[in-house]
Amino acid sequence: MDRTLIILKPDCVQRGLIGTIITRFECKGLKIVGLKLSRITPRLAQEHYAVHQGKPFYDSLVRFVTSGPVVLMVLEGNNIVEVSRKMMGATFGFKADPGTIRGDLGVSSALNLIHGSDSPETAKVEIARFFNPDELLEFSRTMDSWTYDLSSGLPQ
């Protein structure tokens, strides 16, 4: 199974949407293997968003993500990066389709509730940035056989 990093940003925490968004992922059948409430330091935010350095929104993005508590989460599932990004919707809430997290819960272009890794390779780097290996759990759930067709030995 694949893994991805999800960050519920300060606006999500302040608006009391943590449970709502976690419930969406759980209802989809995705497994939470790491979860913690934290504050991202400016140094860590700069490292995390280094690909955007030099862009007009970079400084405000770093200020925003360090402005309050966040929820850091590692999800596990088949094609998890693609699945979770579809669930999140377009970056700007006013452009996101209804039925997506941002489409249903957001309207801002700056306050977009959630971050998710954009590729499996990025996910590995991002997970290692925010979680120690001993903070990620390996466990099986009986519901997995009701979420995925496991008859071939691989999740379908």
**CA angle at 30 for the pair 13 and 15, rounded to the nearest 5°:** 15
97, with CB counted inside 10 A (0-12, 13-18, 19+), is exposed
Q: Which of 9, 31, 102, 115 is labelled catalytic?
A: 115
136 CB-side CA count, 13 A: 17
Cβ contact 19:101 at 8 Å: no
H or E segment and range at residue 4 = strand 2-8
Can 52 be counted among the known catalytic residues? no
As annotated, the active-site residues are 115
